[in-house]
A and B are shown apart, each in its own frame.
Chain A
């Protein structure tokens, strides 16, 4: 079969649009932190600041809330290794809280040249 390849972002956006109409509860970052860090251990693969680990970098978060929720529910078709979390095991409200928390995380990334230690290592490559 010659199916066009759709990126997981595109899938997430399409699904997100569908779900968006049905439910996108407002999330609360303070609740989301505990869920992210401890209850669901999102931190296991994405790091406590959403930047380090075997999972994808989460900051800056480019997905809309609806897109994010759609992706977490249906990550199967992507090659990322992210397991699915259904509404049964992670209610919409909690997922929205997690999204709000990720959005609240600092998202600036330094350049190696702005970090003296790394700049030194960088200079040795030149």
Chain B
């Protein structure tokens, strides 16, 4: 046990169970029907008075018909307290769950024994929301939330979100209960089986000592690039029964550093890069942490090479080296950093690939694993961990001649970057006055309200012309967190709430531009945002459709020469139109809308931002152009 004082406390605080057990005993003393009579519950305190109900109701009251563990129904130092001691080492800020008996032991230990602090309990209304929240949170904080799942049913609800996180290389730390006494169908011989393809590792420890070991492994594996979800399956009894294991300690946790590329390859890569005439850097998920961005800036500036790619922030988009490079120039050396499918060189250029994806590959989901394209130099390593050595080796090779050439290149790149930005801003003027509201205006109008704040864009801009990244000054790792990972819709709303809760302690305001289709998978996460006071401004991109599928079906119907007049069937969210402001208000959140006239945006944004700055969520429903 970690500390004897906790042991004492745990007994003390479990005193509240006595009352419940006493009531249960009284009920057990008077079974309603003789035919259904069952022996009184064991291990309960006698001599209490009450009347009543059915055996079934009684069973639920005392813990689903199982004997209360421990002496007189009171577990002394339950296993779940020890589990919490072990979990404490991972410094979880939040635990998120939809409640379930299979982890009631852990749930109770977290809120009472651990006093509901670090981690603080977040109530999710759907397991998909729980895991999506953890997904968004990790993309801001670079570390996982703890997620508790109720046995096989909780895992099944969570599975879509788990798959997104797996494909997005995001660490999620999950614990599911098993072998509960409530509903037999919730137990499974192999609980992790149904998601094993989309998690990095799972285990079902048989003892508390085994739990400590597995818990550390689960954390280490989740955080080791390529990061991903891990699952521990924990027996309900192991959580709830008195811990009788002798010599149980909480083993010390020491994080393992991600692997850096081998020095030989790093030196070869440096030689190619320094001698290249037109090197380009392409990023995928290279910045695991804020430092990953800083390092990449250092390398790009040293080489005066353009940086592009990556759906989250790997490089400041305001930087003169951000962009595709000098128009018309062919890359002679391409450096790919954590790009899933590293680009094969075109026109005889050389490629350097630094990627951890090869270190953990599953062979079912095709677009997730590394579709391996051999590069001239290939490092099975973490890009962020490799950058310091690569910068160092490049620096050694830069002569004054090369430096002059780099400076010349840098000027051209800066001009190309500037021209691309100017073009984007000019394009943003198109349809500025359109009603319903154009997406360029939706984002453009918001900028004055956030530019002097510490802000974080916590939604994907893929169905919205990429406008925030084109118009706003994105230069911090939390300025944009990217897409779902596996393209599974329903991620957006949950990820935004999780990211906003991560941003909260930093005093940041979070912006979620929310597509309507995505919200409707699990909208009750809005209540979670209200309940936990997430400082999150949600602006609906309400195009009243699953619009991506409208366009897809339109193409299908016309290519069949059958016309487009029925494609609204199954794709449009109209008749009746959904009132998102009412939904949000119903979940306890400040809300306005629908707004179709762009002239009304600024005033509504102002009111919404005020709410968020006061530490609460707000939603503004904006009726938009389809794309």
- A binding-site residues for B, Cβ under 8 Å: 38-41, 43-45, 47-49, 51-54, 57, 83-86, 88-90, 106, 109-112, 114-115, 117-118, 120-122, 124-125
Specify which chain A residues have a CB less than 8 angstroms from the CB of B627 in the assembled complex. Answer: 45, 47, 52-54
Apart from A40-B564, A45-B626, 19 more pairs, CB < 8 Å = A40-B563, A41-B554, A44-B626, A45-B627, A47-B438, A48-B625, A49-B431, A49-B435, A52-B434, A52-B627, A53-B625, A83-B558, A85-B563, A89-B557, A90-B563, A112-B428, A117-B444, A118-B425, A124-B473
- B binding-site residues for A, Cβ under 8 Å: 418, 421-422, 425-426, 428-436, 438-440, 444-445, 447-448, 471, 473, 547, 550-551, 554-555, 557-559, 561-565, 567-568, 625-627
Give chain A's interface secondary structure class.
loop
Q: Are B425 and A112 in contact (CB under 8 A)?
A: yes
Specify which chain A residues have a CB less than 8 angstroms from the CB of B439 in the assembled complex. Answer: 52
A-B pair number, CB within 8 angstroms: 114
Specify which chain A residues have a CB less than 8 angstroms from the CB of B444 in the assembled complex. Answer: 115, 117-118, 121
Q: Are B626 and A117 in contact (CB under 8 A)?
A: no
Q: Are A109 and B551 in contact (CB under 8 A)?
A: no
A51 to chain B, nearest CB (A): 4
Q: Are A120 and B448 in contact (CB under 8 A)?
A: yes
Specify which chain B residues have a CB less than 8 angstroms from the CB of A52 in the assembled complex. Answer: 430-431, 434, 438-440, 625, 627
Specify which chain A residues have a CB less than 8 angstroms from the CB of B435 in the assembled complex. Answer: 48-49
Q: Are A41 and B625 in contact (CB under 8 A)?
A: no
Would you list 11 pairs from A and B whose C-beta atoms are within 8 A, ordered by A residue? A38-B568, A41-B550, A48-B434, A48-B435, A52-B625, A85-B564, A89-B563, A109-B430, A111-B429, A117-B444, A122-B422
Give the docked Cα–Cα distance between A62 and B433 (Å): 21
Given A44-B626, A48-B434, A110-B433; A125-B561 close (CB under 8 Å):
no
A75 to chain B, nearest CB (A): 10
Q: Are B430 and A117 in contact (CB under 8 A)?
A: no
Specify which chain A residues have a CB less than 8 angstroms from the CB of B554 in the assembled complex. Answer: 41, 44-45, 83
B24 to chain A, nearest CB (A): 61
Q: Are B425 and A110 in contact (CB under 8 A)?
A: no
Q: Are B447 and A44 in contact (CB under 8 A)?
A: no
Specify which chain B residues have a CB less than 8 angstroms from the CB of A45 in the assembled complex. Answer: 551, 554, 626-627
Give the docked Cα–Cα distance between A106 and B431 (Å): 10
Closest to A123 in B: B425
Given A48-B434, A125-B422; A88-B561 close (CB under 8 Å):
yes
Specify which chain B residues have a CB less than 8 angstroms from the CB of A86 in the assembled complex. Answer: 561
A112 to chain B, nearest CB (A): 5
B483 to chain A, nearest CB (A): 17
Closest to A43 in B: B626
Closest to B446 in A: A117
Given A85-B558, A90-B563, A109-B430; A121-B447 close (CB under 8 Å):
yes
Specify which chain A residues have a CB less than 8 angstroms from the CB of B430 in the assembled complex. Answer: 51-52, 57, 109
Instruction: Select the residue from A53, A54, A86 with max chain B CB neighbours within 10 A.
Output: A53
Specify which chain B residues have a CB less than 8 angstroms from the CB of A40 in the assembled complex. Answer: 563-565
A119 to chain B, nearest CB (A): 9
Specify which chain B residues have a CB less than 8 angstroms from the CB of A114 in the assembled complex. Answer: 429
Give the docked Cα–Cα distance between A106 and B435 (Å): 12
Give the docked Cα–Cα distance between A103 and B554 (Å): 23
Specify which chain A residues have a CB less than 8 angstroms from the CB of B436 in the assembled complex. Answer: 48
B318 to chain A, nearest CB (A): 9
Given A41-B567, A43-B626; A112-B426 close (CB under 8 Å):
yes
A1 to chain B, nearest CB (A): 25
Specify which chain B residues have a CB less than 8 angstroms from the CB of A115 in the assembled complex. Answer: 429, 432, 444
